[in-house]
Amino acid sequence: MYIGIDIGGSSTRIAVSLSIDDPQPYNKHIFPTHNEFESNYQIIKEYIKKIQQPIKGIGLGIAGSVTKDKSMLMRTFNVPQFLNKPLVRDLSQDFHCNVYLENDGIASCFAEGLYTAHRQKDFAYITWGTGIAVISMKHLNKIPQVIKLDRNIYYHHWEEDFGGKGLEKKFHNKAENLSDIEWMETFNLLDRKLTTFLQQYKTDLVVFGGGIAQKKWQQIWGSLKNLSKKTGVTFDLTSLGGDNAGLYGAFALIKQANMSIF
C-alpha cells in the first residue's frame, strides 16, 4: 500500500494506491490547507492511520523548494506554515516507511515522464495553479534528468503575473471570479513571456499542469496557437487530470526513488 500526498497553497490531497507502476488513486481525501502546520499534519496522520495496512512508502509533493537532503521545505511562496518542519522525519517515524519529499512541480513532471504518452520525451513542464513553476525534463543517455528551472533566469515574475495568488493581488479578485477581459490580458502576457522563454530554453514540447491550466485550457490553447505555428513548439495539457496530477506526482516520487535508472 502506498500513500500519495499533494500539499498546495489552497488545498491538500491524499490518496492510496496499490501500485506505483500504474497508480490508481482511490479513497481520496481533499481538505483546505490550514494555516498551522500541526493542524495539517494531524489530518494527514489520521487519514493514514485509518488505512490499517502496512505502508510501503509515502510520496509527498509540496509547493516550494526542499532542502538538498529532501527532508524539509526551505523556501515557499504559498505554504509558509511548512517551512523547516520535520515532515519527512515525523511521517517516517509514525508509519515506519520511507518518505519521499519534493517540490510539487518536479513531482508532477516525473509523473508526466513516467505515466503518460510523453514518457521518454524531453519537455518543459509548467505547473500553473495557486503558484507557478517551470520544470525541465531531459534525458541524458536515456536517463531522465528533472530540475526546477531558475526563476530569476527563465520565468522572473511569472508567479506574480499568472499564479492564482498573484492574480488575486493584481486584480483584487480571486482567479475564478476574473472577467473575460482580465483573463485575456493574462493570456496575452503569457504569450509574450513564453515567447521570451522559448528563446532561452530550447524545446519542442511544453506541457501544462495545475488547477488554472486545467480550468482554462481552451482559452490558453487559443491564445498560444499562433506561437505554436511560429515556433514549431507543441503545447499540451497533462492527461493526468487537475485533481489527480499532484497525486500521480507523489506516487511517481516513490517509483523514481526505487528505479535503478534514476
Domain ranges of the chain: 2-106+242-257, 117-237
Where does residue 98 fall: left (phi above 0), alpha (psi -120 to 50 degrees), or beta otherwise?
Answer: beta
| Residues 179-203, mean pLDDT to the nearest whole number | 95
pLDDT at 261: 40
Burial class (CB in 10 A: 0-12, 13-18, 19+), 72: middle
Across 198-222, average pLDDT: 94
The answer, yes or no, to whether residue 5 has pLDDT greater than 80, is yes
- pLDDT 10s digits, 51-93: 988 999 999 999 889 999 999 999 998 899 999 999 999 999 9
Give me the amino acid identity at 19: S
* 117-237 maps to CATH 3.30.420.40: yes
Quick check: 120 pLDDT over 70? Answer: yes
Domain over 2-106+242-257 is classified CATH 3.30.420.40: yes
Each residue of 96-114: pLDDT tens digit? 999 999 999 899 999 999 9
To the nearest 10°, report the CA torsion of 108, 111, 112, 115: -160
Residue carrying the nine cell digits 481538505: 31
Tell me the C-alpha distance between 166 and 171, whole Å. Answer: 9
Query: What is d(CA 157, CA 12) in angstroms, rounded to the nearest whole number?
Result: 25
Q: What percent of the chain has pLDDT over 70?
A: 98
Tell me, rounded to whole angstroms, the distance of Cα 125 from its chain centroid: 9
Pairing of strands 2-7, 11-17: antiparallel
Domains 2-106+242-257 and 117-237 alike in fold:
yes
Among 206, 231, 230, which Cα is nearest to 220's? 206
> Confidence band (pLDDT; 50, 70, 90) for 21?
very high
pLDDT at 27 over 70: yes
Q: Can you give the pTM of this predicted structure? A: 0.87
